[in-house]
């Protein structure tokens, strides 16, 4: 049975997250409807990761198994035709071996968080950025974020409903930079806990606002206590930008 890797872009605002949830709108549900419209097959797609309500993606990866072998470009174009007018696009489709898995073969997930840092609220990017009016010190945020890199118990930044077996994770990359009126936070790890990125962003932003120091952020991590977490950043500014695979 031919297996295809799909790279997906979507606006998360209309959906109750990526994962199918009965009759509730989801990114997974819309892609599966598109597969049904294209091939007549009812199937379950497999994704590299699940994104929450309102979270976006520019590089989500899924795989599907089809009964018939199609050219990869045909798969991409046919699915996009059936996805209209949903804000979901298949950017790429490619043939992969039958033992390749979008989730289990992944070695890295990478996220971008966008903060619009200006007095005026967004118009064109409403729902796609977190608007923070007060000036942020991106340099202090970047310096503090380094306290989170490495292998740690991330209980402080773990949602109470997280179903992961362990709070131990290795954060490989945490960077903060100013891009004009925006502050961009980038995180990379093999895997993340539920709402870990949004929780880290909120606490790092406390440093940028001058309410926390780097030591405060490190102490919050060391506390291994959810109540030590700062504010949780909204879903609006979060993007799954890429998934890495070996080879």
CA neighbor of 175 nearest in space, from 209, 150, 143, 215 = 143
**Distance separating alpha carbons of residues 62 and 101, to the nearest angstrom:** 8
- Return the number of other C-beta atoms located less than 10 Å from residue 227's C-beta: 7
Out of 11, 52, 125, 159, the active site residue is: 52
Q: Would residue 95 show up in a list of annotated catalytic residues for this protein?
A: no
**Distance separating alpha carbons of residues 104 and 9, to the nearest angstrom:** 20
**Distance separating alpha carbons of residues 90 and 99, to the nearest angstrom:** 22
Our measurement of the distance from residue 13's CA atom to the centroid of its chain's CA atoms, rounded to an integer in Å, reads 13
**Distance separating alpha carbons of residues 119 and 5, to the nearest angstrom:** 42
> Would you please indicate which residues are annotated as catalytic (active-site) residues?
52
């Amino acid at each position: 049975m031919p297996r295809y890797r799909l790279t997906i872009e979507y606006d998360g605002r209309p959906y109750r997250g990526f994962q199918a949830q009965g009759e509730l709108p989801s990114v997974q549900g819309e892609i599966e409807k598109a597969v049904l419209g294209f091939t007549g097959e009812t199937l379950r797609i497999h994704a590299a990761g699940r994104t929450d309500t309102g979270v976006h993606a520019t590089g989500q990866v899924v795989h599907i198994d089809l009964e018939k072998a199609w050219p990869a470009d045909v798969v991409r174009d046919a699915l996009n035709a059936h996805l209209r007018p949903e804000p979901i696009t298949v950017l790429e489709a490619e043939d992969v071996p039958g033992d390749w898995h979008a989730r289990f073969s992944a070695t890295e997930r990478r996220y971008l968080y966008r903060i619009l840092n200006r007095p005026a609220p967004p118009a064109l990017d409403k729902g796609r950025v977190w608007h923070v009016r007060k000036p942020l010190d991106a340099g202090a945020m970047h310096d503090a974020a380094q306290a989170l890199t490495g292998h740690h118990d991330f209980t402080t930044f773990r949602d109470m409903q997280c179903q992961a077996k362990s709070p131990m994770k290795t954060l490989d990359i945490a960077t903060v930079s100013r891009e004009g009126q925006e502050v961009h936070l980038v995180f990379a790890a093999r895997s993340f806990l539920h709402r870990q990125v949004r929780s880290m962003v909120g606490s790092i932003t406390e440093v940028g606002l001058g309410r926390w120091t780097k030591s405060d952020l490190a102490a919050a991590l060391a506390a291994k206590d959810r109540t030590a977490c700062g504010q949780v950043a909204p879903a609006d500014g979060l993007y799954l930008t890429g998934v890495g695979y070996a080879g």
